[in-house]
């Protein structure tokens, strides 16, 4: 099982017009941009992840979020390392995703049951991605 395998996947959030990019083990922004052909997508990546090479070095994971000039929200979950705490790290970062989702879609703290189901769904999808790529059991 190689802990250094790179993963770049778009994760769709059900029932919401929202998605996020899940990036695992991609060490530089230059390398990440090679996964994309569309200049507009690359420009968005550069905008959202402008400090990718510096910010991500000392941390296991982080969530980058930005609203572009057209009003669209962009999220990128960056998982820098796969270690024994990777599942705890995922839960931590999913909480940050849900904080943004709550701010965008549920400003009155309503629909907490949907939030709980969406949190479980995101965790399940990310675990499946890691498991299918041989990064966790």
Would you say residue 3 has pLDDT above 80?
Answer: no
pTM for the whole structure: 0.91
Q: Is 128 contained in some domain? A: yes
Return the residue matching tokens 């990036």. 23
Whether residue 48 contacts residue 64, with contact meaning beta carbons closer than 8 Å, is answered with: yes
Rounded Cα–Cα distance for residues 25 and 16 (Å): 27
Q: Is 36 contained in some domain? A: yes
The pLDDT of residue 106 is 78
Q: Is 86 contained in some domain? A: yes
Q: Is 2 contained in some domain? A: no
Query: Residue 92: which domain range?
Result: 7-132
Q: Which residue has the higher pLDDT, 35 or 1?
A: 35
Q: Could you report the per-residue pLDDT of 43-91, keeping only the tens digit for each?
A: 989 999 988 998 756 788 999 999 877 778 899 999 988 889 999 999 9
Number of domains, the chain: 1
Q: Is 38 contained in some domain? A: yes
User: What string of DSSP letters covers 30-78?
Assistant: HHHHTT---HHHHHHHHHHTTTHHHHTTT-SEEEEEEE-TTS-EEEEEE
Rounded Cα–Cα distance for residues 114 and 57 (Å): 34
The pLDDT of residue 57 is 65
């Amino acid at each position: 099982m190689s802990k250094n395998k790179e993963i770049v996947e778009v994760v769709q959030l059900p029932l919401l017009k929202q998605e996020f990019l899940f990036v695992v083990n991609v060490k530089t922004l230059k390398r990440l941009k090679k996964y994309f052909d569309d200049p507009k997508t690359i420009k968005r990546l550069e905008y959202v992840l402008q400090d990718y090479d510096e910010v991500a070095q000392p941390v296991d994971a982080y969530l980058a979020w930005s609203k572009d000039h057209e009003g669209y929200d962009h999220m990128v979950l960056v998982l820098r390392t796969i270690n024994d705490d990777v599942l705890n790290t995922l839960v931590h970062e999913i909480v940050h995703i849900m904080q943004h989702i709550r701010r965008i879609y549920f400003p009155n703290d309503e629909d907490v049951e949907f939030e709980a189901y969406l949190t479980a769904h995101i965790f399940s999808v990310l675990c499946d991605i890691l498991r299918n790529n041989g990064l966790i059991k």
